[in-house]
Amino acid sequence: MKPLSWSRATWRCGALCLLLLVAGVAPALSQVPGPPLPAGVPNFWNVERRLERPDAAQLPTAIRFMTTEDYPPFNFVAADGALMGFNVDLARAICAELSATCTIQAVPFTDVLPGLEDNKADAAIAGLAATPAARQKADFSERYLGTPARFVARRAGAGGEMTPAKVAGKSVAVVGGTAHEAYLRDFFKDAALKPYSDTTAAREALRKGEVDLLFGDGISLSLWLNGTSSANCCAFVGGPFTESRFFGDGLAVAVKAGNAPLRRAIDYALQRIWEKGVYADLYLRWFPISFY
């Protein structure tokens, strides 16, 4: 059998590619998937809408970030005086992805958005939510972290999904007057709610076995579970609840209003950080007990 000539081989390859295109295989090959996610690491980026790298002429050569120093483990001052935390590391990763010089200054939370308006910084990463009120003062990136709600149970009773039928009749500690209480009253109508005045009282009720479950903010609960005050009593049970009407749209990076080039560059950098697995490393470093 004579070997195929280059022209015939090329023709056959073209025909095969055309068949793949018609079959819908080629578009799948063109997608750039992110890394396999470790258990519990969230994903806020759609690989089917992969962002293009901004034009080099529009990329910043330096980014001045603002954050705060009183929101551990997101941003805080270590014993040696260094500014640390998940937000701080994420800001540095954004700068590294954009090959930009990075400076990060800590200011009081009330000064963050006014500081952007007064051009004291280019961007802010300080546990900010892109609420309608905040959008009147700044523009925001895509979210980089959600703020889900979670159920917690004592370890002896942990396991399975938390459905209205499963929670019916169980005593559930919750902080009174919060969105978490409102959510339970709307969707877990048959649960025996026990509102408490603050998070400490609600957590202690579960730790002592005075209630069957605790429902609240997943982030703060993960820190409690990982800390000493929980005495390793309890664990997350079921999955996260992410309804934005109750629990918000999550955290995002703020930039000065109208600075679309920087906002787009940060969105691109965040997606690339996730694709490379850097985001997962940072998340697991600062949140060893995932709130997702």
Q: Count of CB atoms within 10 A of residue 238's CB?
A: 19
CA angle centred on 271, ends 64 and 140, rounded to 5°? 50
Write down the domain spans for the chain: 47-146+249-286, 149-247
Residue 242's pLDDT is 95
Average pLDDT over residues 224-251: 95
* Residue 20 scores a pLDDT above 90: no
Phi, psi of 164 (to 5 degrees): -55, -40
* Residue 83 scores a pLDDT above 90: yes
Distance, CA of 70 to CA of 108 (rounded, Å)? 9
Q: What is the 3-state secondary structure (H, E, C) of 211-272?
A: CCEEEEEHHHHHHHHHCCCCCCCEEEEEEEECCHHHHCCCEEEEEECCCHHHHHHHHHHHHH
pLDDT grade for 37, boundaries at 50, 70 and 90: low
* Residue 17 scores a pLDDT above 90: no
- SS3 assignment, position 124: strand
Maximal CA-CA distance, the chain? 85
- SS3 assignment, position 96: helix
Q: How far apart are the first and last CA of the chain?
A: 60
Nearest to 191 by CA among 213, 212, 172: 172
Query: Was domain 149-247 assigned CATH 3.40.190.10?
Result: yes
* Residue 260 scores a pLDDT above 60: yes
Residue 36's pLDDT is 60
- Considering the domain 47-146+249-286 in this protein, what is its CATH number? 3.40.190.10
pLDDT tens by residue, 62-82: 999 999 999 999 999 999 999
User: What mean pLDDT value characterizes the chain?
Assistant: 87
pLDDT grade for 8, boundaries at 50, 70 and 90: very low
Residue 91's pLDDT is 98
